[in-house]
Structure 1
Amino acid sequence: MLKRVFFSIILPLGCLVGAIFILLTINTTYPKAANDSIPTIFIHGYRGTDRSLHGMIRRLDQKYDWATETLTVNVSPDGDISTTGTYDKSAKNPLINIVFEDNRATLPQQSMWTKKVMSYLQQNYAIKKFNAVGHSMGGGAWVAYLASYEKNKSYPQVNKIVFLAVPFYPEEYVNGDQQVDIKNANNVHTKFAEKMAKQLPDNTEIMIIGGNLEDGSNSDGEVKLDSVLYGEKLFAHQKVVTHVIKGPQATHSSMHESTVVDKYVGDFLWGQK
């Protein structure tokens, strides 16, 4: 009887407890990232907020220990700058989040604000070189800024660029009022991108990530994949790597919440060891 109880109850229970103990004591480990003092600066997309890219920033810091969240730079509709957090130039791969309070502004306006922020960062924190990450229209803000100021040595110079679900020609959005706000007769986005490509040094490293829901739309639900991948043609003289996220998880707003995208970004920016 005791033998039967042991094999039917006590032994399985002991195995279960042991398995739980092992699971609780195992720490998930991730590849180490190279330590660099060059900051990585993020700009959110159309109608974005401080929360849009904060999840990715927090994961890169707290989950993977690849980088360090430092500053959030807020830009008012009048162009006034305020910051939260503390920038430490000795921090491991410091991360900075730029937030436009007027999150529906035009690309030329965002370019001017970005110029002002970059000048502020150089003057107050001696930042001379940076990595750029932009989601959707945030990538457009980087394009417009770099097209206008990349060769101006009084501003920080770009090191690497990540374009996340960024449209590169006017037929960019599948639906919604975003298409009305961004597309215009002058094809301003494409013109900025073409100018930027001419400004950037040939050795500039660029990563382009797009999404395909594989539902027949050839898009991430908002941005057509062809428009994203047009960047390969625009930046033919630079060093470009592309990735396409596929399936239901590849929605436009989910791109910056994807752990797969996290890994692509970490590998590209910091060359995990």
Structure 2
Amino acid sequence: MKQMKWWLLTLLLVFGLAGCTSQAKPTSTKSRQSTSQKRVSAYIDSTTPTFYVHGFQGSAKSTNTLIKHAEKTAHAHKVLVATVNTSGTVTLTGKWQGHVRNPIIQVVFKNNLAQYDQQSAWLAKVITTVQQQHAFKQYNIVAHSAGCVASVNMLMTKQTADFPSINKLVTIAGPFDGVVGEDDVANQNSFLASGQPKYLHAAYELLAAKRTNFPTHVHLLNIVGTLNDGSHSDSLVTNVSARSIKYLLRGRSVDYTEKDFYGKHAQHSQLHENAHVALAVDRYLWHR
């Protein structure tokens, strides 16, 4: 009898443990499913288009790396290339159909030596042309070098009533107050106590004349490069020239952010190839 009781107790314990195990498994699976469902991308899903603009002597190559990084990291998609020929005609190539996450339009000027005001007019035409095919109320701009001046100049120029409004602007190595070797010299310029540059060059005067037309409440990321060679420049744009945009936009309620990059990869043309710069741009535009 004692032996039978021992066997019965053993069987009860075995089945009891098996029951506990079988009940625990669904709970564990359910917990994993719940965790998986809560996982959210670090980058937003926006339909606001972003226009990438190159500078003097630039081309699609100038913004290719930045765009590829955005596609890989921020789940953005290059949907169109807007090419402006020498007479100002805009041609759109690519495909933008339905909902596209974080759409990108790459802007290419065939005349990449045109003056700031001309490129500003062309950029406005690009935005209007795209808007006529794909309705949007807001847009972003990522610009490099002279493209920064052209973009800011466009934003300071009166447009039609139905022209969309700027949301975020990223300026990379913007020569807002001169270019080394042309109208500026390394370590010559400085900021006065007021924040204004001591020497005002052609680009600065162009923008200063209509600075009060710049829209209010714009989010601006200004990226500045420094070679660490004593020139306080990225080889072509001095730190003073690049940073002078802040004083230009005083009183316009601009949400201004400045990021500095140093060393050989902060050289003027290397900035748009710099993965750290690209990541800063992606996070500024699309990170939650």
Bin for the TM-score computed over the shorter chain: 0.7 to 0.9
Partner in structure 1 of residue 95 of structure 2: 86
CA drift at 1:188: 4.7
Distance 1:89 1:112, change over 3 A: farther
Aligned Cα root-mean-square deviation (Å): 2.2
| Pair 1:137 & 2:146 matched | yes
Query: 1:87-236 alignment to 2 at 5 Å?
Result: 87-88=96-97, 90-149=99-158, 152-169=160-177, 172-175=178-181, 187-194=201-208, 197-236=211-250
Number of paired residues?
Answer: 232
Alpha-carbon distance in 1 for matches of 2:105, 2:142: 10
8 Å contact kept, 1:213–1:246? yes
Distance 1:121 1:191, change over 3 A: farther
Distance 1:162 1:197, change over 3 A: farther
Gaps of 5+ in 2: 1-40, 186-199
Distance 1:246 1:148, change over 3 A: same
Alpha-carbon distance in 2 for matches of 1:233, 1:178: 18
CA drift at 1:36: 0.8
Query: 1:65-84 alignment to 2 at 5 Å?
Result: 65-84=74-93
Larger Rg: 2
Aligned residue type for 2:128: S
Alpha-carbon distance in 2 for matches of 1:196, 1:48: 26
Alpha-carbon distance in 1 for matches of 2:98, 2:221: 25
Distance 1:89 1:241, change over 3 A: farther
Alpha-carbon distance in 1 for matches of 2:184, 2:102: 33
- The CA deviation string for residues 226-268 of structure 1, in whole angstroms up to 9 with x for no partner, is 1101112122331100011011211000111111111211121
Alpha-carbon distance in 2 for matches of 1:268, 1:160: 9
Gaps of 5+ in 1: 1-30, 180-185
Query: 1:258-273 alignment to 2 at 5 Å?
Result: 258-270=274-286, 272-273=287-288
Using structure 1 for the length normalisation, give the TM-score.
0.79
- The CA deviation string for residues 29-72 of structure 1, in whole angstroms up to 9 with x for no partner, is xx7211111011011010001111011101110x2143111111
Using structure 2 for the length normalisation, give the TM-score.
0.75
Distance 1:201 1:75, change over 3 A: closer
Alpha-carbon distance in 2 for matches of 1:112, 1:210: 26
**Identity among equivalent pairs (%):** 30
CA drift at 1:196: 5.8
Distance 1:102 1:91, change over 3 A: same
